[in-house]
Structure 1
């Protein structure tokens, strides 16, 4: 359920905002256009919004600024504490993509950035199946996450990272469950979503899915 990576976020919580600002050269390309990615997710969100993987609250802050009603779900105690300090008006519940408290009955949009890859492909499928049951017709899932056009593209990214001496990035790409566009498309289509993809940087794609009848 992605919780196998919680120790990483325990260690990363205090410096996460520095990383997304591009201060870590190994991850600068991963977080390139970070603000634009969050803005694009917010632009497509409507109605009551549930955010999975709130982290330090950067996406939630933009949603609240837009005037959205937001409920956050985050498994990391350290990340929840930082988000709560930054956004005392935000409701953040303990949970993850598969195991979470009761959500608002009127949820219209589910969002997440830089988190869905913590699930295996089988878990991704189960999560989208559950979300399909939560959302109304034309309800939306808007994710910004690292995915690849193919397994070959993923391997090239790993090889390029190693050539640059970016050992942490290479190990991250090998350790976590980064998948491909065809796999994600099949998952969403199977659970009655129309899905489109928009590349936001060399790693991250905007995934926009709408619940069909």
Structure 2
């Protein structure tokens, strides 16, 4: 899953927490309301949570503070090193892996979460991952993802053009390089794999998708 982006994860690790707090003007709109989005994911989550792309541990910390049992999965050792330096996370057993390849969990989960991670999967990887998540969750279990996504290809093209026009070249390059989903396509993936979904826009780039499992699907 998206391991071709590992050099970017490693490069961003040392500055990530500064970025999410608005330290880079080029990405300020992407991270607008970042902490509110994490709070919303935490509030909507159940009790036993599988977290993908835990990164520097910001969402992990919020989930734990809310009394959740959390299994955080992260492929970047640089990100993990920073997370484990935080006092609230130093004893957390982070798992090495990604959204497709991760260890067998010791107990049943009721929620799968991530923030700004799912777009690293290709379209076929997204659909395959959602199918697998159906197998992991009970009826009523939820997938809660915050991520950059777009309503249409036209809307995506307009935003890329606007970023280039404002000389936000690094952000424009990210938008063209990574696999940002279109909401109608993502909704179809979830529906095909037994989930009912709702989408809510959180800032100019990021939407929150809540997908609740309503049907078992064949393995």
TM score, norm. by length of structure 1? 0.98
Partner of 1:156: 158
**SS of aligned partner of 1:18:** helix
Determine whether 1:176 maps to 2:178: yes
| Residues 71-111 of structure 1: CA deviation (Å, up to 9, x unaligned) | 10000010111112211132211100011111243200000
Give unpaired runs (5+ residues) of structure 2. none
Partner of 2:52: 52
The one of 96, 99, 116 equivalent to 2:98 is: 96
Give unpaired runs (5+ residues) of structure 1. none
Cα distance in 1 for partners of 2:160, 2:24 equals: 17
Bigger mean CA deviation after superposition, 160-169 or 84-93:
84-93
Partner of 1:125: 127
| Residues 131-189 of structure 1: CA deviation (Å, up to 9, x unaligned) | 00000000000000000001111111100100110000000000000011001100000
**SS of aligned partner of 1:91:** coil
Number of residue pairs matched by the alignment? 213
1:1-213 alignment runs, 5 A limit: 1-86=1-86, 87-213=89-215
Cα distance in 2 for partners of 1:96, 1:130 equals: 13
TM score, norm. by length of structure 2? 0.96
